[in-house]
Structure 1
């Protein structure tokens, strides 16, 4: 997820180009090949510091890319990936690093983000760690800039880390809540709501996808700015709260 005024990560090479050792390049090439086969367009894929991302902030592992090739339901493009969190996961513990905790508004935003999900009484709950009874864990770490990054589930488990820009500490707690809630959404399988036309929030096109972006019944197929917390880019005026369509999507899946 990127702030409207700036891209917070920069690729170490051209689009679809790696910058590590040969085994890393081989892995990147397979991930990219799998994403293209799953229906993601080339302009939706980038390599940043040896990692492959789609939608500007969603890290895709090799395992997750392989799962995306498995048969999915439907092909209309909106809202979720083929990869979701399995029923064996009931309590997801989000464990902030010491550096993360040192930023007051990031720390407050995390508590509010977890409360956003727990208020919906879904089949999965979130807790701030360290704590007990966790069936899955996510690390909350920091990165440069004022955006965030995460990834998609694989093997029935949520992606294991979110990265939140320390520059967000200079903004409101609500904006921190918004970005953290957004990145947690990716970890449980949500795509950007406006991926089909990112001009709604960013002024640039992200590209469409096939089986990797499945429409959730009851949600709109357009997402102008401010109509979904899962839109690609955000405004400084965000409240950090789910919209009605976000709640519909979460209740449908979880």
Structure 2
């Protein structure tokens, strides 16, 4: 029998509060919090672990809903009870229970969900994989061999979903439920991908970002706003903010908006599951550039490849070191360096983008023509691939640094001479406005606009 068949019993009181997975409207002063059918010894264990048992704790299936979207068995609760209590006071948190090693996490999405939810699921996995963590999340077609299983269930309540606790034995928590009362093609909720990513966050060991003050995302929650410090089960993550962060993927309550990872979220994930990273100067000019793959697990087999071959020369290096140069000083363009790492039979690809040579020509150039003598004119350049700054030329002769005057003797750059945006004062002569990208390899090709000057003016603006 498939595991998802075990979700056929769906009787849950409608008055329950669900942590992150509550509609924001559900977090209101009229709600009652209670403890239902929970043995006193379970309450004692949870309180020793630092959880606030007044926050909607209740019996749920073969275990208990804690923090109202964390499903824990009694065995998992026992594992969370600390021997000492430390009180964290800052923002992003993880438990002591994490997923071990470099590995691929196979995640199954119940086929009962329609296309909208399937696409949201792929989006959520892509958010994690974009960070090059030591965990790679992969869609699985086989529920019975998956590490994490998303199951569909239906109930008319405030419960959006739940995660079956935290990692145990170095493996992620396996079962996650999503309520099709909310998550279906007809509703197409904007928070779908964030909710999926949030529950995966619990499954790999993250607690609510604002667990110490749920009012931050939920509004007023009675009788208190603190889920509990959870002792050593709630460890502050280095370099994350001191207060709960707006937009974090692990906030306790949803406001039904899409929330990709914030910068602090990414720091928390990378600090917890730091993967292999590539260091080296990604701008290749003359000579050789050395790239190093860091944090490679012992015993791994590492190979690498640089593409395309008509731009990048694979000069030397082996294993976790690659030495590259441009194929010619007359060639410029973009390429990639990919390290392939085999860790215990699992393949990991770590890639960095490389630019060879001078920048490409800017993609566009916008601004007024004709222009009025003495006016201010604004010109905007499209991006030039590989550029770190920009250079402008105006109709000759011109001043590189000019002030605004009523009757300028020549064109002049008033502001923005090294960026994509230029403000110029119009001189008396017709000519060319030109913009070029610049990097350490040199100056790229120009984007050009012909401009003509009318005699009327004497100040004012042609700026769009």
TM-score range, shorter chain: 0.7 to 0.9
1:30 Cα deviation after fit: 5.0
Query: Which structure: larger Rg?
Result: 2
- Cα distance between partner residues in 2 of 1:216 and 1:224: 14
Paired position in structure 1 for 2:197: 181
Paired position in structure 2 for 1:138: 148
Name the SS for the 2:213 alignment partner: helix
Q: Of 156, 159, 184, which residue of structure 1 is paired with 2:173?
A: 159
Q: Pick closer, same or farther for the CA change 1:218–1:172 going to 2, 3 Å.
A: farther
Paired position in structure 1 for 2:37: 17
- Cα distance between partner residues in 2 of 1:112 and 1:213: 28
- Cα distance between partner residues in 2 of 1:71 and 1:119: 37
- Cα distance between partner residues in 1 of 2:132 and 2:43: 36
Paired position in structure 1 for 2:387: none
- Cα distance between partner residues in 1 of 2:85 and 2:261: 25
Stretches of structure 1 that go unaligned for 5 or more consecutive residues are 8-12, 19-24
Paired position in structure 2 for 1:241: 260
Matched, 1:218 2:239: yes
Q: Of 75, 81, 84, which residue of structure 2 is paired with 1:69?
A: 81
Q: Of 137, 151, 155, which residue of structure 2 is paired with 1:126?
A: 137
**Match runs of 1:99-118 below 5 Å:** 99-100=112-113, 103-118=114-129
Q: Of 226, 251, 263, which residue of structure 2 is paired with 1:231?
A: 251
Paired position in structure 2 for 1:252: 271
Moved more, 201-210 or 122-131: 201-210
Paired position in structure 1 for 2:67: 55
1:72 Cα deviation after fit: 7.8
1:62 Cα deviation after fit: 2.5
Q: Is the 8 A contact 1:68 1:212 kept in 2?
A: yes
Q: Pick closer, same or farther for the CA change 1:245–1:73 going to 2, 3 Å.
A: farther
Using structure 1 for the length normalisation, give the TM-score.
Answer: 0.81
Q: Is the 8 A contact 1:46 1:52 kept in 2?
A: yes
Q: Is the 8 A contact 1:220 1:245 kept in 2?
A: yes
- Cα distance between partner residues in 2 of 1:3 and 1:128: 28
Using structure 2 for the length normalisation, give the TM-score.
Answer: 0.46
Computed over aligned residues only, the root mean square deviation of the Cα atoms, in angstroms, reads 2.6
How many residue pairs are counted as aligned between the two chains?
A: 233
1:32 Cα deviation after fit: 3.5
Name the SS for the 2:147 alignment partner: strand
The Cα offsets for residues 106-160 of structure 1, whole Å up to 9 and x where unpaired, read as 11111000001111110111111026xx7x6111111335722102111111110
The Cα offsets for residues 182-211 of structure 1, whole Å up to 9 and x where unpaired, read as 010000011000011011110122432122
Q: Is the 8 A contact 2:192 2:258 kept in 1?
A: no
Which structure has greater helix proportion?
1
Which structure has greater strand proportion?
2
1:6 Cα deviation after fit: 3.1
Q: Pick closer, same or farther for the CA change 1:206–1:2 going to 2, 3 Å.
A: farther
Q: Is the 8 A contact 1:35 1:65 kept in 2?
A: yes
Compare relative contact order (CA 8 Å, sep 6+) and give the higher one, 1 or 2: 1
Q: Is the 8 A contact 2:37 2:59 kept in 1?
A: no
Q: Is the 8 A contact 1:229 1:241 kept in 2?
A: yes
1:73 Cα deviation after fit: 9.7
- Cα distance between partner residues in 2 of 1:199 and 1:207: 11
- Cα distance between partner residues in 1 of 2:78 and 2:42: 8
Name the SS for the 1:92 alignment partner: strand
- Cα distance between partner residues in 2 of 1:197 and 1:118: 30
